[in-house]
A and B are shown apart, each in its own frame.
Chain A
Amino acid sequence: MREEVYSGSVERIEVMGTDDEDDFPWIEEDEYKELYKQMMIARKFDEKAFSLQRRGEISTYAPHKGQEAAQIGAMFALEEDDWVVPSFRETAAFIARGAPLDKIFQRWMGDANGQKNLSELNTLPVAIPVGTQNLHTAGLGMAMEKKDDENAVIGFTGDGSTSEGDFHEALNFAGVYSGHSIFFVQNNQYAISMPREKQTKSETIAQKAIAYGITGIQVDGNDLLAVIKAMEEALEKARNGEPVLIEAVTYRLEDHTTSDDSTRYRDEEEVEEWKEKDPLRKFKEYLKEHDIWDDELEEFEEKAKEKVDEAAQKAIDADEPEFDELFDYVYDEMPELLKQEKEQLKKEVDQ
């Protein structure tokens, strides 16, 4: 005898250009404008960081161009007491979370002081290794459940990370312990040069949730409003101890980092196709269609550029970290052994 013991399904959410537009307006008019401004600042930040890298002010930069809707949409519905676990490409998310722009630049300029005081934003420092931070998302979510809190944590991760063991352990722990965790996968189609279809045999990344008994949602990651909708649904669940995996289908319009050359592994035609779906342009058109677009938004591009330029200059002008900072934060209390090494190195480097 054979019988079906399980079958699952995954829904995809789109809003712009679909019947869902009937929902309009479903957030405040000011919020639409604010979202556009955040996206524009994020875009200008990316351009500035790129030019700073070329000028040698930044060593390596991971651009987020094309992923603004995914990141900013993901952050929109969060409350202050919700937590954020970013990976390394989440600069737009940091902007939406309210991290000072100059601090974000400072970190890209190689000074960890740019990551200071993030606890005020319930946001972790970026995680550079791929996928390991998903377990921190799971642990934070478990802790919220244990403390009977009604908040949630969103952890960002990429399509490449879904091949890592820690991604799967995280989904498993979150499911078992009713974690308040949202695993937000930005499926930007490439893990450096590895295309999504060679990364996994799964038709969608969202369906990986099914194996762990949690909800999986796929969303058009270039559709800001769809991402917001998915997150609102996910937050409602996560706050009640039902973890969610969201796959935001998007595209990295630039290279993996400034050290990468994406022309070696993807063709121009494909990039052009995705440029047509540029989330910033898409949202601008949407605002125009719905008569929200105005002169202030028209002029905001210039303002955003000025804001970003000022922040970059502030970061460039910031004091370099001191010698002592190499040692100061390793332990709560500096061990004798480290004090001795510090003194010795101090002499060697003439500080």
Chain B
Amino acid sequence: MTEKMNIVEAVNQAIHDEMEADENVIAYGEDVGEDGGVFRATKGLQDEFGEDRVFSSPLAESGIAGTAIGMSLYGFRPVIEMQFSGFSYLSFYQIKEHASRMRIRSRGDYTVPLTMRAPYGGGISALEHHQESPETFFSHSQGLHVVIPSTPQDTYSLLRKSIQMDDPVVFLEPKKIYRAFKEDVDTEKEVDLEEARIVQEGQDVTLVAWGAMVPVAEDAADEIDADVEIIDLRTIYPADFDTIYESVEKTGRAMVLHEAPKSVGFGAEIAARIQENEILKMEAPVERVTAPDVPYPLYTLEDFYMPNKDRAVKGLERVLNF
């Protein structure tokens, strides 16, 4: 079945359909119930599934994540919401040190099938702490899946898959493009979490991006006079490096575009892996277009901070003209 949706509607539909399919799926977090979350991602779910399964929780990020671990161990599949990714750091300890390690510590005896959702990223002129891109922190936490969709179809399919996983998933939603566009979403379509998406094929340069940077990558590719292959990474960890290697073997050039600060951002990992595996195929060093190593600024400065089409084009020019 197909239906036109934007990204936030796809989030809602995916949780809805998983709740319908499995009575152990529950959704909670701050304002998630009556309000449907501050972005309305869980709108209407409480009306349909009741307060027992969809509820607003006390304001406590560590509490939400830690209790979800306990609920998971008792057979539930909690889909918890961090109101903004900038507040997810308060849950970080529970996710990194408990959720991600329960399986290995118990030799596979216990699993923690929770999905932690959070709107992430900048570009919406929000308050401080509301625009962070924390994917690197979670990607450095072994035992987790870290997923970032960039289209309504991917949001729907990846979120359903995440909720079905027996391992914990951190699902970061690019809120800048929550309502940017609609597309037909096939609710039957299944995806593998370990597979990057080739957005468009090209011969001259490989451009890797995720989340709200994917449309920026597409705009930049449209503008530049070169044949750009765009890869949407989709799962940041464990990342599908093989698709990237295959692409750079063809193009010999690569650029990574992300919103998180440059140092130790996931682009660094991609550049390093390309260097380790494909150095002899490369015509130029891997280029990175990212945010600078400064805290996300108050919004009058955010246009300098966030990578945009022009910076992406300049980056592509540098790598093409090396």
Which residues of the other chain, B, contact A173 by a CB distance below 8 angstroms?
A: 57-58, 60, 63, 67
- Cα A153 to Cα B71 with chains together (Å): 12
B94 CB within 8 Å of chain A:
yes
Contact: B109 with A140, CB < 8 Å? no
The chain A residues found within 8 Å of chain B, CB to CB, are: 83, 85, 112-113, 115-119, 124-125, 127, 129, 132-144, 146-147, 153, 165-166, 169-170, 172-173, 176, 325, 328-332, 335-338
Known contacts A172-B60, A336-B242, A132 near B167 by CB under 8 Å:
no
B165 CB within 8 Å of chain A:
yes
Contact of B104 among A119, A143, A329 (CB under 8 A): A329
Contact: A139 with B111, CB < 8 Å? no
The contact sample of 30 A-B pairs, CB cut-off 8 A, is A115-B107, A116-B107, A118-B110, A119-B106, A119-B109, A124-B106, A125-B102, A132-B97, A135-B62, A135-B65, A136-B66, A136-B98, A138-B66, A139-B72, A140-B71, A143-B75, A146-B52, A153-B70, A166-B62, A169-B62, A170-B63, A172-B58, A329-B103, A331-B143, A332-B166, A335-B194, A336-B238, A336-B242, A337-B237, A337-B241
Known contacts A132-B94, A336-B242, A169 near B66 by CB under 8 Å:
yes
Fill in one digit per residue for B82-103: 1 if any A CB lies within 8 Å of its CB, else 0: 0000000000011001100011
Contact of B93 among A129, A170, A335 (CB under 8 A): A129
- Cα A295 to Cα B126 with chains together (Å): 76
Contact: B166 with A124, CB < 8 Å? no
Given contacts A143-B73, A335-B194, A337-B239, 8 further A-B contacts (CB under 8 A): A127-B98, A132-B93, A136-B66, A138-B67, A142-B67, A142-B70, A142-B71, A169-B63
Contact: A165 with B103, CB < 8 Å? no
Which residues of the other chain, A, contact B93 by a CB distance below 8 angstroms?
A: 129, 132
- Cα A125 to Cα B73 with chains together (Å): 12
Which residues of the other chain, B, contact A176 by a CB distance below 8 angstroms?
A: 58
Fill in one digit per residue for B255-282: 1 if any A CB lies within 8 Å of its CB, else 0: 0000000000000000000000000000
B76 CB within 8 Å of chain A:
yes
- Cα A206 to Cα B23 with chains together (Å): 37
Q: What total count of A-B pairs have CB within 8 Å? A: 141
Contact of A139 among B74, B110, B237 (CB under 8 A): B74
B68 CB within 8 Å of chain A:
yes
Closest to A165 in B: B62
Closest CB-CB distance, A96 to chain B, in whole Å?
20
Which residues of the other chain, A, contact B67 by a CB distance below 8 angstroms?
A: 135-136, 138-139, 142, 170, 173
Known contacts A165-B62, A172-B60, A176-B58, A135 near B70 by CB under 8 Å:
yes
Which residues of the other chain, A, contact B57 by a CB distance below 8 angstroms?
A: 173
- Cα A132 to Cα B111 with chains together (Å): 17
Known contacts A116-B106, A138-B70, A330 near B63 by CB under 8 Å:
no
Contact: A135 with B69, CB < 8 Å? yes
Contact: B238 with A143, CB < 8 Å? no
B2 CB within 8 Å of chain A:
no
